[in-house]
Structure 1
Amino acid sequence: MRRIVVVGGSLAGVSALEELRARGFDGELVLVGAERHLPYTRPPLSKEALTGEVRHGPLALRESGWYDDHHVTLRLGHAATGLDSRERVVVLDDGTTVGYDGLVIATGSSPRRSALTSTLVNALELRNLDDAERLVRALRGARHLVVIGAGFIGMEAAATARGLGVEVTVVDVAASPMNRAFGSAVGQWFQRRHQEHGVRVLCSTAVERIEESSHRTLVRLAGGETLAADALLVAVGATATTAWLAGSGLPVGDGILCEPSLATEIPGVVAAGDVARWHNGTFGEPMRIEHWTNAVEQGRHAAATLLGDPRPFTSVPYFWTDQYDAKLRCVGRPSSGDDVEILAESGRTLVAVFGRGGVVSGAVCVNAPRRLAALRQAIAERAPFPDVVAGTLAP
């Protein structure tokens, strides 16, 4: 291969570039990114980046000189709009094309759109740097922030805004915050933390209608109550960014459907990060992961596959969320439908394990980092759930 193109100015994309050079690829590297910014890290956008002026510099994954040193041609500010796999070209939004011999797709995920908010002028999202800048400006003059969606981003932003002295109300149709990931036991623990800090959390609550006035946004709930918001954040999840691949021949279904090695059905094309759906042999099931560590590991693995080392990518997913002084660390693949047992709980700490099909599937540790390593090992070894609950495998 003489030229490898990476589509997606993401953590997975940069990790792939780095691995390609580390493995000795000395051909041309091209990075295509929809945003004008150099690639940056995103977790701080819902946390510390909201507490002051949002600046790209501290968030940048690599300084500009790194791309020069690694001989990476940058095509930033131009989204990919199509892929012609027969001609081996990526089509950009300005009508130009970029040819490739090898292709890494790392286009990540995009905010899920709500029919209630898609036409609103003042509804905010929080996925990229520009979104964070808009939210910071909105919070400066806001008395009341309404957040629709009690997932990770919604709850992190709620905690940050509350720390700034803003009144916050969170609304979600689910029974508890972060319910899809953890179910009610962990979600209710976090709901209590937020309530202790003055956040109003309205779960099992639907939004019926939203109206914009010149100064405020009125959010009418199904029960009849109306919330008057100075700022409205919509955080109802994300979907893999795959629309641009229509007609390319790549199979897509909640992400790009990949082989265990992260290769796709099209020769010379691999995928990594939020956009990749692959069969994880550790759990014996297909999955798509939208978290930082997975993006790094998959970016590197996809690069190796592209260069002729197509081993299966297996992992025990790991991610975190920080809300107030509660530092949640999660390993594995917990789900709201799993069995769950609380191993330890106090006003400040929580340790929960999840089981599916008789084996441990995941674990959540809040302010309990010492428990994490043993539980992660138990998950990797597919340990029996009853043994982990009984404490014979975890300290």
Structure 2
Amino acid sequence: MTADVLVIGGSVGGLTTVEALRAGGFRGTVQIVGAETHLPYDRPPLSKKVLSGAWEQKRAHLRSQVQLDSLDVEFLLGRRAVGLDVDAHGVVLDDGRRLGYGRLVLATGLTPRTLPGTGSLRGVWSLRTLDDCAGLRAELLSARSLVIVGAGVLGCEIAATARQMGLDVTLIDMSPVPMWRQTGPVIGRALSELHSAQGVRVRMGTGITGLLQERGRVTGVGVDGGAVIPADVVVTTIGSVPAAAWLNDSGLALDDGVLCDERGRAATDVYAVGDVARWSEGRIRVGPRLENRTNAVQQAVFVAGDITGARHDYRQVPYFWTDQYDVRMQVFGLLPEDADVRLIDGTVESRRFVMVAEQDGQVVGVVGWNSAKAVMAAKNTFLG
């Protein structure tokens, strides 16, 4: 079968592409190939609401079955794409099937990095999928101690959730402060203080030397200096790589993701959106990948418009948010580690404030803690 539009990836980027196509009047045939057996669901709640048990798994589903049926799309779930022939407009699946396409949208997302040699070690987890979340939650319910290796956004969110579940939590990272890459030193220090105040043992500037085990199950984490931190469960959140290895022989340009032009086109009739994609920011510079839900949605809507004939310009303003304890942090733009950060509203002590980050006299990022209206106003003022 040849679909008018074939989408590889069944998460928010892929689903939003289809919804935007239908909303734009597209009536052609559409297929979505998803590596998981679940219908499209939202990933951000996994480390918070679903992991804590506040939500049942079904609440993370992006749409009801009735809503999905109304899209008139064929889902091929539990299947992975393993090959792409750009010239022949064909994709090969892991079961040997070959799917043709008129337009192809790549929305395969990320694959988590793991610690070497831990694949069969019980009690060691990554958190990417709904199944990961279910398995990790089951273990946390009977565990006393959790060590999280990696203090990025995901690691910090899991630490907050697990601490609120009553676990003894240690957060380890080589960086000087939590969320160093995403927020820089000033906000990172505030995050460190937030977690420490909640009882998390924050071990920044610390490397791990290995995992200890007994009868095939993790029992602790060795760190620099020879110390061992006991652990019933270990979660690794040490970053991810674009899920693009299957495209190595496709002829597409790959460099930390699928390289695209400013309209998301990776080749003739081939687009890429979301975490797997690096879009051009003009004729010279290819921008970084933006690993957040908002970016995936915005790019998917734009690509759908391009397929249906819209010719709007696209400008990305990086944005992400994170919920940790009683804090919602929203970040627009970028917060480089060498930026000058200044307070423009509220106070750090009240956990309600807005800061801006400046480089070379220009605002490049805006961050707000529990200040939704104020941070949006600052974003509109400084970043457009």
TM-score by length of 2: 0.94
Give runs of aligned pairs for residues 358-369 of structure 1, distance below 5 A.
358-369=361-372
1:356 matched residue in structure 2: 359
Q: Secondary structure at the match of 1:177?
A: coil
| Contact 2:211 2:218 (C-alpha < 8 Å) held by counterparts | no
1:391 matched to which residue of 2? none
Q: What pairs with 1:305-384 in structure 2 (closer than 5 Å)?
A: 305-343=306-344, 344-381=347-384
Residues 138-182 of structure 1 deviation map (CA, whole Å, 9 limit, x = unaligned): 101110000000011111011111111100001000000000111
Q: CA deviation at 1:296?
A: 1.1
Deviations, residues 1-35 of structure 1 (Å, cap 9, x unaligned): 96110110010111100111112221110010000
Q: Where does 1:210-229 land on structure 2 (aligned, <5 Å)?
A: 210-214=211-215, 216-229=218-231
Check whether the contact 1:3–1:28 (CA below 8 A) recurs between aligned residues.
yes
Mapping of 1:293-308 within 5 angstroms? 293-308=294-309
Task: Tell me by how many angstroms 1:310 deviates.
Answer: 4.6
The question of 1:246 aligning with 2:248 is answered yes
**C-alpha displacement of 1:365:** 0.6
Match for residue 144 of structure 1? 145
Per the alignment, residue 263 of structure 1 pairs with 265
Q: Name 1:386's counterpart in structure 2.
A: none
Which 10-residue stretch deviates more, 50-59 or 146-155? 50-59
Q: CA deviation at 1:321?
A: 0.4
Q: Would the alpha carbon gap of residues 285 and 368 (structure 1) be closer, same or farther in structure 2, given more than 3 Å must change?
A: farther
* Range 48-57 or range 35-44, more displaced: 48-57
Secondary structure of the 2:138 match is helix
- Change in Cα spacing, 1:199 to 1:182, as seen in structure 2 (3 Å) is same
Q: Which is further off, 156-165 or 45-54?
A: 45-54
Who is 2:36 aligned against? 35
Equivalent pair of 1:262/1:312 in contact (CA under 8 Å): no
Contact 2:92–2:98 (CA under 8 A) maintained in structure 1: yes
RMSD across aligned positions (CA) = 1.9
Separation in structure 2 between the aligned mates of residue 267 and residue 308 of structure 1, nearest angstrom: 15
SS at 2:280 equivalent: strand
Shift of 1:113: 2.7
Distance of aligned partners of 1:271 and 1:285 in 2 relative to their CA distance in 1, 3 Å threshold? closer
Shift of 1:216: 4.2
Stretch deviating more after TM superposition (191-200 or 312-321): 312-321
Give per-residue Cα distances to partners, 1:303-351, cap 9 Å, x unaligned: 1122333544212222110100011011112222323223342242342
Q: Are residue 45 (structure 1) and residue 46 (structure 2) matched?
A: yes
The number of residues matched between the two structures is 379
- 1:56-135 equivalent positions in 2, closer than 5 A: 56-115=57-116, 117-118=118-119, 120-135=121-136
**Quick one: distance in 2 between partners of 1:341 and 1:286?**
26
User: Identity of aligned pairs, percent?
Assistant: 39
2:276 corresponding residue in structure 1:
275
User: What displacement does 1:53 show?
Assistant: 8.0
Give yes or no for contact 1:332–1:379 (8 Å, CA) kept in 2. Answer: no
Q: 2:246 & 2:308 partners in 1: Cα distance?
A: 25
The answer to whether the aligner puts 1:23 opposite 2:32 as a matched pair is no
- Amino acid in structure 2 at the alignment position of 1:375: A
AA aligned opposite 1:345 = V
Q: Secondary structure at the match of 1:67?
A: helix
Letter in 2 for 1:330: V
Report the Cα distance in structure 2 between the residues aligned to 1:285 and 1:370, rounded to whole angstroms.
32
Structure 1: gaps of 5 or more residues: 382-395
Name the residue aligned to 1:200: 201
Q: Would the alpha carbon gap of residues 299 and 39 (structure 1) be closer, same or farther in structure 2, given more than 3 Å must change?
A: same
